[in-house]
């Protein structure tokens, strides 16, 4: 079935370092792809999305490009801040589940000063 | 500010108890979802609802049921709680045809 695989964490970076969190997907159709972020003690919130191949989603300095040829949607940020410490989830929508989202297992990011 | 509100942030229940987790959204969304979140497993879909009085099983419905009597409210029911249902439960909603979910803050349930 449709699924996403994202790199395992935790990832620990120093402030201003470059961030990449890898995400690859398996899908029979053409899903939309998402990155959600969960800050400590909170629910998930949408960070960015892309609905078709070669689309680039961006928000708060984060970017991800929908790559159909490599079935990937890697999350990047050029310079992370302590406030970016959170758990990041890659997800795709499932056409046969009422367009519910299928999430990866999450990648925990800790940014140190 | 639009919201999905989960009434209980933390609950502690005993094995065998009946547990209700309530979720209310104020966005007039048609679709609502219940996920559970566990370390190393990410989010797994328990049940979802297209509209009032409609429900569909997700990936892990065993041991759970749901109720959607009003559009704004989607309840998750554990008929007889067990220790393996200790988890964080997340409710989400979405307008029909949209592809972005809005999540509540979560309900952390501990079953002793």
Q: Which tens digit of pLDDT belongs to each residue from A71-99? A: 999 999 999 999 999 999 999 986 655 66
Coil, helix or strand at residue B100: coil
Cβ A43–B94 below 8 Å, yes or no? Answer: no
Which of A23-32, A78-87, B32-41 has the weakest average pLDDT? A23-32
Cβ separation of A43 and B103 shorter than 8 Å? yes
What is the 3-state composition of chain B as percent helix, strand, coil, each rounded to the nearest 5?
Answer: 5, 50, 45
Residues of chain B found within 8 Å of residue A93, distances taken between Cβ atoms = 99
The pLDDT of B69-85, averaged and rounded, is: 96
pLDDT of residue A93: 85
pLDDT digits (tens, 9 = 90+) for A99-112: 678 899 999 999 99
Q: Do B90 and A45 touch (CB under 8 A)?
A: no
Which residues of chain B does A101 touch, with a Cβ-Cβ cutoff of 8 Å?
Answer: 43, 101
Mean per-residue pLDDT, A19-39:
92
Chain A residues in contact with B48 (beta carbon < 8 A)? 97-98, 100
% of chain B beyond a pLDDT of 70: 98
Non-local (6+) Cβ contacts of A96 within 8 A are none
Is the predicted pLDDT of residue A58 greater than 80, yes or no?
A: yes
A-B C-beta contacts closer than 8 Å? 54
Q: How far apart are CA B70 and CA B95, in angstroms?
A: 15
Q: Which tens digits make up the pLDDT trace of B92-106?
A: 999 887 888 999 999
Residue from the list B45, B90, B105 with its beta carbon closest to the beta carbon of A100: B45
According to the model, what pLDDT value does residue A27 have? 87
Q: What is the mean pLDDT of residues A18-30?
A: 92
pLDDT at residue B2 is higher than 70: no
Is residue B53 exposed (0-12), middle (13-18) or buried (19+ Cβ within 10 Å)? Answer: exposed
H helix intervals, chain A? none
């Amino acid at each position: 079935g449709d699924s996403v695989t994202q790199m395992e964490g935790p990832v620990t970076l120093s402030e201003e370092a470059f961030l990449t969190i890898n995400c690859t997907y398996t899908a029979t159709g053409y899903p939309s792809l998402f990155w959600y972020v969960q800050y400590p003690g909170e629910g998930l919130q949408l960070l960015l999305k892309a609905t078709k191949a070669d689309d680039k989603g961006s928000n708060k300095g984060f970017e991800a490009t929908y790559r159909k040829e490599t079935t990937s949607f890697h999350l990047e940020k050029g310079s992370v801040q302590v406030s970016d410490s959170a758990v990041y989830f890659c997800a795709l929508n499932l056409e046969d589940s009422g367009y519910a989202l299928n999430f990866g297992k999450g990648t925990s990011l800790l940014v140190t000063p | 500010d639009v919201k999905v509100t989960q009434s209980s942030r933390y609950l502690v229940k005993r094995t065998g108890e009946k547990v209700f987790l309530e979720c209310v959204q104020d966005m007039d969304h048609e679709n609502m979802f219940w996920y559970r979140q566990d370390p190393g497993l990410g989010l797994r879909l328990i049940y979802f609802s297209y509209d009032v009085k409609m429900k569909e099983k997700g990936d892990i419905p065993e041991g759970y049921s749901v109720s959607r009597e009003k559009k704004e409210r989607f309840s998750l029911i554990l008929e007889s709680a067990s220790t393996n249902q200790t988890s964080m439960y997340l409710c989400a909603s979405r307008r029909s045809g949209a592809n972005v979910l809005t999540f509540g803050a979560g309900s952390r349930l501990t079953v002793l």
